[in-house]
């Protein structure tokens, strides 16, 4: 990273690399800088961050900053491909093509939050991310320091995902025809998305971490293609949620367990001072079993001074007023036969760059009623939203704060409210089950 007065500049090369994920086994990945997860990018709120990505992979790529309030030309639209060096492009193509490299600019004019960047190539996001194209991008704000939350090496991101490995150590991604041919009425393979049987935290299978008997802040990210988690500590201790996708909550929320859909982030504080020194504390996943039931382990190594606290008031979140909504929209996420094939659709339509589902004017507040037939983590680019309710109830217990991804459950209606501002232009929203996304469960909105 190089810094000048107003900006921080990163350079990354996307490349094929052989790394050790399983002990003693070589695994080929596609990694930002050849590592998985990719390097963590840190933006200071209000300072521009520029990231130049070189593509030395054998395939086109697209980089998206998930949770970023990014201008449309830097947002990683699925057809804005970066072709590998030396490739030529010819013929018609709807996207903004680059060869060899592309420079993405992020204003970071947004709340401090745990964001992540990942590949977003149309039809191929799922296999590209599976092979390793994901990393963290934190937006930091010095104003947070007055809160005295756990800091330094007690502020730890935990990127959780599942993968499978073939006998030779390679990452095993089943080859799915992106057109997913299955006759109407027949359930296609990987309908639920692709799941792995090895759980990785920050790229390490079932790691163990030594901790002091003090408070830690964990920034949890579910970077899995399709797996949902229900996390809890064993022996039990409260998971005190302080943040969500869009940064700090207004007030802490105490959970005994945490449900996390793909792409969601939860920031929690765990007080290991509640355990005796020497205790092993397991982070378990109640939605998994066997190898996927265990995520990682903490070992409480020693007592230590703890200057941190969790204040009662964390941040200010102005409530968006439903009465201010210009438009109420129904957005239906469902599986559907499209001609002779089965696909995942939004309002009955597969993704097309040429079709807008919504055209809010800059600054408009809209309410979206999201209906789902399955588990669909619904993600909007550009904006963060608030959850108004689920079914006839208020927001769910994991819906607090500013969200950019909502864990929509089968046969559910969830109501969200957002203001379309920050930038004008065309953006996507989609299911963040990456197999669903690749199977066309994506749409556009254009801020006018």
Least gap, CB of 67 to Cu ion (angstroms): 6
Beta bridge partners of 365: 419
- The H or E element spanning position 40 is strand 38-44
Least gap, CB of 24 to ligand C2O (angstroms): 33
Interaction of residue 66 with Cu ion, rule CB under 5 A: yes
Could you tell me the two tokens for 421? 């501002």
SS3 273: helix
CA dihedral over 319, 325, 330, 332, signed as positive or negative: negative
SS3 437: helix
Nearest residue (CB) to ligand C2O, 232 versus 379:
379
- Between CA 260 and CA 285 the distance in angstroms is 10
| Partner from Cu ion, ligand C2O, none contacting 74, C-beta within 5 to 8 A by type | none
Beta bridge partners of 43: 139
Number of residues near Cu ion (by CB under 5 A): 6
SS3 labels along 239-278: EEEEEECCEEEEEEEEECCEEECCCCEEEEEEEHHHCCCC
Interaction of residue 436 with Cu ion, rule CB under 5 A: yes
x/- mask, Cu ion, residues 93-132, rule CB under 5 A, reads: ----------------------------------------
Least gap, CB of 425 to ligand C2O (angstroms): 15
What single DSSP character describes residue 61? B
Least gap, CB of 376 to Cu ion (angstroms): 3
- Between CA 190 and CA 443 the distance in angstroms is 21
Interaction of residue 47 with ligand C2O, rule CB under 6 A: no
Least gap, CB of 138 to Cu ion (angstroms): 16
- The H or E element spanning position 435 is helix 434-438
What single DSSP character describes residue 373? S
Nearest residue (CB) to Cu ion, 218 versus 344:
344
- Between CA 83 and CA 62 the distance in angstroms is 9
- Between CA 58 and CA 174 the distance in angstroms is 19
Nearest residue (CB) to ligand C2O, 63 versus 269:
63
| Partner from Cu ion, ligand C2O, none contacting 430, C-beta within 5 to 8 A by type | ligand C2O
What single DSSP character describes residue 77? -
Q: Which region among 84-92, 233-241, 291-299, 425-433 touches ligand C2O (by CB under 6 A)?
A: 425-433
x/- mask, ligand C2O, residues 319-358, rule CB under 6 A, reads: ----------------------------------------
Q: Which region among 269-277, 279-287, 296-304, 428-436 touches ligand C2O (by CB under 6 A)?
A: 428-436
Interaction of residue 64 with ligand C2O, rule CB under 6 A: yes
Pick out residues in 109-128 that bind ligand C2O (CB under 6 A).
118, 120
Number of residues near ligand C2O (by CB under 6 A): 10
Could you tell me the two tokens for 197? 């049987």
| Partner from Cu ion, ligand C2O, none contacting 120, C-beta within 5 to 8 A by type | ligand C2O
**Cβ-proximal residues to 22 (8 Å cutoff; 6+ apart), any chain:** 165, 169, 198, 205
SS3 292: helix
Beta bridge partners of 250: none
Apex CA 53: angle with CA 51 and CA 57, to 5°? 160
Pick out residues in 261-320 that bind ligand C2O (CB under 6 A).
263
Nearest residue (CB) to Cu ion, 66 versus 403:
66
Nearest residue (CB) to Cu ion, 66 versus 217:
66
| Partner from ligand C2O, Cu ion, none contacting 433, C-beta within 5 to 8 A by type | Cu ion
- Between CA 356 and CA 81 the distance in angstroms is 20
Q: Which region among 88-96, 197-205, 384-392, 434-442 touches Cu ion (by CB under 5 A)?
A: 434-442
How many Cα atoms within 13 Å fall on the side-chain side of residue 302? 2
CA dihedral over 4, 155, 205, 288, signed as positive or negative: negative
Interaction of residue 223 with Cu ion, rule CB under 5 A: no
- The answer to whether the beta carbons of residues 128 and 64 sit under 8 Å apart is no
Q: What is the dihedral of CA 250, 255, 261, 267, to 10 degrees?
A: 50
| Partner from Cu ion, ligand C2O, none contacting 431, C-beta within 5 to 8 A by type | Cu ion
User: Please, what's the b/e burial string for 224-251 (b: 16 or more CB within 10 A of its CB; e: otherwise)?
Assistant: bbbbbbebbbeeebbbbbbbbbbbbbeb
Interaction of residue 431 with Cu ion, rule CB under 5 A: yes
Of the residues 47, 53, 66, 74, which one makes contact with ligand C2O according to CB under 6 A: 66
x/- mask, Cu ion, residues 352-391, rule CB under 5 A, reads: ------------------------x----x----------
Pick out residues in 368-397 that bind ligand C2O (CB under 6 A).
379, 381
Interaction of residue 217 with ligand C2O, rule CB under 6 A: no
| Partner from Cu ion, ligand C2O, none contacting 219, C-beta within 5 to 8 A by type | none
Q: Which residues bind ligand C2O (CB under 6 A)?
A: 64, 66, 118, 120, 263, 379, 381, 428, 430, 432
């Amino acid at each position: 990273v190089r810094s000048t007065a107003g900006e921080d500049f990163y350079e990354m090369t996307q490349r094929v690399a052989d790394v050790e994920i399983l002990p003693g086994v070589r695994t080929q990945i596609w990694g930002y800088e050849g590592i998985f997860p990719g390097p963590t990018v840190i933006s200071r709120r209000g300072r521009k961050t520029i990231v130049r990505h070189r593509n030395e992979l054998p395939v086109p790529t697209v980089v998206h900053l998930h949770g970023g309030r990014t201008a449309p030309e830097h947002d990683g639209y699925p057809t804005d491909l970066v072709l590998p060096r030396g490739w030529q492009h010819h013929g018609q193509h709807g996207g903004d093509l680059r060869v060899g490299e592309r420079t993405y600019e992020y204003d970071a004019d947004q709340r401090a939050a745990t964001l992540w960047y990942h590949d977003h190539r149309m039809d191929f996001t799922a296999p590209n991310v599976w092979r390793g194209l994901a990393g963290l991008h934190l937006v930091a704000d010095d104003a947070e320091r007055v809160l005295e939350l756990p800091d330094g090496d007690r502020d730890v991101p935990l990127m959780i995902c599942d993968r499978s490995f073939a006998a030779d150590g390679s990452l095993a991604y089943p080859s799915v025809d992106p057109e997913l041919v299955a006759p109407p009425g027949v359930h296609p393979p990987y309908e639920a998305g692709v799941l792995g049987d090895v759980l990785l935290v920050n790229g390490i299978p079932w790691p163990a971490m030594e901790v002091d008997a003090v408070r830690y802040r964990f920034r949890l990210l579910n970077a899995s293609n399709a797996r949902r988690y229900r996390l809890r500590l064993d022996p039990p201790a409260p998971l005190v949620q302080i943040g969500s996708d869009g940064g700090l909550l207004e007030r802490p929320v105490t959970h005994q367990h945490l449900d996390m859909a793909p792409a969601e982030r939860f920031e929690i504080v765990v007080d290991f001072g509640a355990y005796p020194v020497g205790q092993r504390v397991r982070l378990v996943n109640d939605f998994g079993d066997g190898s996927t039931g265990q995520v990682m382990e903490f070992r409480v190594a020693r007592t230590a001074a703890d200057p941190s606290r969790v204040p009662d008031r964390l941040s200010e979140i102005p409530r968006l007023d439903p009465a201010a909504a210009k438009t109420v929209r129904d957005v239906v996420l469902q599986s559907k036969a499209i001609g002779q094939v089965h696909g995942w659709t939004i309002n009955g339509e597969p993704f097309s760059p040429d079709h807008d589902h919504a055209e809010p004017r800059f600054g408009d507040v809209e309410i979206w009623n999201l209906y789902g037939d399955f588990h669909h983590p619904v993600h909007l680019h550009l904006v963060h939203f608030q959850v108004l309710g689920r079914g006839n109830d208020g927001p769910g217990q994991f819906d607090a704060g500013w969200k950019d991804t909502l864990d929509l459950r089968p046969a559910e209606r969830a109501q969200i409210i957002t203001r379309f501002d920050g930038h004008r232009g065309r953006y996507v929203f989609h299911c963040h089950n990456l197999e669903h996304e690749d199977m066309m469960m994506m749409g556009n909105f254009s801020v006018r």
